[in-house]
Amino acid sequence: MPELKIRKCLVSVEEIFHEGGPVAAFPLRRASALAVVANPFARAYHAEIRPFMDVLKPLGLEMARRLIAALGGDPKVVEGYGKAAIVGEAGELEHGALWHAPGGYAMRELLGGAKAIVPSTKKVGGPGTRIDVPVTHINASYVRSHFDAMEVGVADAPRADELALILVMTTGPRVHARAGGLAAKDIVGKDGLR
Amino acid sequence: MKAKIRKIVTFVDETLSEQGRAVTPPIRRAAAVAVIENPYAGTYQEDLSLLIDIGEELGGLLAERAVSALGIPGNSVESYGKAAAVGENGELEHAAAILHPKLGTPFRKVLDKGAALIPSSKKRGAMGVVLDVPLGHKDAAYVRSHFDGMEVRVNDAPRANEIMVAVAVTSGGRPLPRIGGLKVSEIKGEDGLR
C-alpha cells in the first residue's frame, strides 16, 4: 500500500464584506484547505492506483475538519463546497482523480450527508500553479446564488513528485447575488440537483 | 472604524517535512490581509494622517486575526513582518503611511512585546499581485534562522482604488536552518538587534 507523506498544509479563509454594493449583514466566508503530499506513482505508469484512495481517506476527513474549524466550528454554517487537485510535473492527470472519492465523501460525511455532487477540477502544473476551485450549494447543484469559485495555490508546490489536494467550503451565496435562478429557500432536496 | 474594509483573508501554512526530513514540531506561519478602500486614489494628498490612523486600526485587527489563525498565544510568536500593495490609482507613499508610523504599536501589543524592527515591503500592483512579506525574529533582528518570507496573494485585490495590507506571524524560523549566525538561544533582547 502506498504511504501517505504530507509535506505541508495551507488553510486560507476569505471574509467578504462587500464588493462595491451594500455591506452584507453576514459577511461571506470562503475557506480552502490544501495538502501537499508525495505522489507515490510519479515518474512511471502504474496500472493499479486505486488503493491510494483509501490511504487518502483520513487526510480528506482531517482537511474537512480543519475547514469547519476555520469557519467557526459549526458544520451547519457551510452552504457551498468544491474540490480540486494539482498534479506535479512527473505525474499524470489520472492521479488527481484519486482525490474525488476521499475528498468528496469526507466533506459530505462531516456536513451531515450533503446531497449535491461536489464540483471539481484538476490539472497538471508546476509549483505556484493556481487553480479555480468550483463551488456549488451542498444540497442542490442548481442553486444559482451559490455558483462560485475560489482561487487557491501555494508558491512552492506541487513539486514534480507531489500532489496538491484541495477542499473548499463556503458559508453562503455570492456577496451581492442577484442573477435569479433557483434560490436556496426553494430547494426541494431530493435529488441533489434542485 | 476609519478603514473601509472590503474583505479580510487569512492564510496558515504548516510545514511538516522538508527535503524528506521531518520538521518537528511543524513550523506554522499565518498571515492576515485586509483589502481596504484607498481614500486618496487618483489624487495627490499632502496630509496622510487618515491613512496613518487606518494603519493603527489594522495593526491590532490583523495581528489578532493572524495570531488567532496561528493557534498559539501571542507571546509565543517568534517572528513577524508586514507589507502592503497599493492599487494602480494609488501612491507608494499611501502604503508607507499605513505601514510605518502607527501600525507597529498595536501589532506588538497583541504579541506582548517585540523589540525588533518589523521588517516590511511595499509595492504598487494590479489585482493578484504577489506580496512577499519579509519575516524576522520579533525580539532580535539578527537571528539568522528566522530570516524568512511568506508569500500572500488575493486574486481580486487590490483593485485600482484599493490597498491590501498584510501582517504575518510564525511559530518558528525556516524548516531546517543550518547556516549559522545568531541563534534564538543567544538572544540578549536589549536592543532589538541581538
- Interchain CB distance below 8 Å, A15 and B8: yes
Please give the DSSP secondary-structure letter assigned to residue B171: S
**What's the grid cell of residue B187?**
538572544
How do residues A94-112 score in pLDDT, each as one tens digit?
999 999 999 999 999 999 9
Phi/psi of residue A20, nearest 5 degrees: 95, -10
pLDDT of residue B189: 84
Chain A and chain B share a number of CB contacts under 8 A equal to: 53
pLDDT of residue A152: 96
Are A164 and A34 in contact, with CB atoms under 8 Å apart?
Answer: yes
Closest residue of chain B to A132, computed from CA coordinates: B155
Q: What is the CATH number of domain A6-186?
A: 3.30.1330.110
| pLDDT at residue A72 is higher than 80 | yes
- Interchain CB distance below 8 Å, B16 and A9: yes
Strands B162-170 and B5-18: unpaired
pLDDT of residue A44: 93
**What's the grid cell of residue B116?**
525588533
Looking from the CA of B171 toward its CB, the CA atoms found within 13 Å total 20
pLDDT of residue B132: 93
In tens digits, chain B (194 residues) has pLDDT values of: 999 999 999 999 999 999 889 999 999 999 999 999 999 999 999 999 999 999 999 999 999 999 999 999 999 999 999 999 999 999 999 999 999 999 999 999 999 989 999 999 999 999 999 999 999 999 999 999 999 999 999 999 999 999 999 999 999 999 999 998 999 999 998 899 99
Are B127 and B91 in contact, with CB atoms under 8 Å apart?
Answer: no
Å between B191 CA and nearest CA of chain A: 34
| DSSP three-state, residue B42 | coil
- List of E strands, B38-130: 79-86, 120-124
How do residues A19-29 score in pLDDT, each as one tens digit?
999 999 999 99
The answer, yes or no, to whether the previous bond of A158 is cis (omega within 30 of 0) is yes
pTM assigned to the model: 0.89
How many angstroms separate the CA atoms of A31 and A67, rounded? 6
Q: Sorting pLDDT into bands at 50, 70 and 90, what band is A113? A: confident
Mean per-residue pLDDT for A166-170? Answer: 98
- Interchain CB distance below 8 Å, A12 and B5: no
Closest residue of chain B to A27, computed from CA coordinates: B7
Select the CATH number that applies to the domain covering B5-186 from these four: 3.40.50.620, 3.40.50.300, 3.40.50.720, 3.30.1330.110. 3.30.1330.110
In angstroms, the Cα distances linking B32 to A42, B7, B25 are 35, 11, 23
pLDDT of residue B173: 96
| DSSP three-state, residue B76 | helix
Provide the ipTM: 0.80
Phi/psi of residue A23, nearest 5 degrees: -65, 130
| pLDDT at residue A1 is higher than 80 | no
**What's the grid cell of residue A15?**
471574509
Domain segments of chain A: what residues?
Answer: 6-186
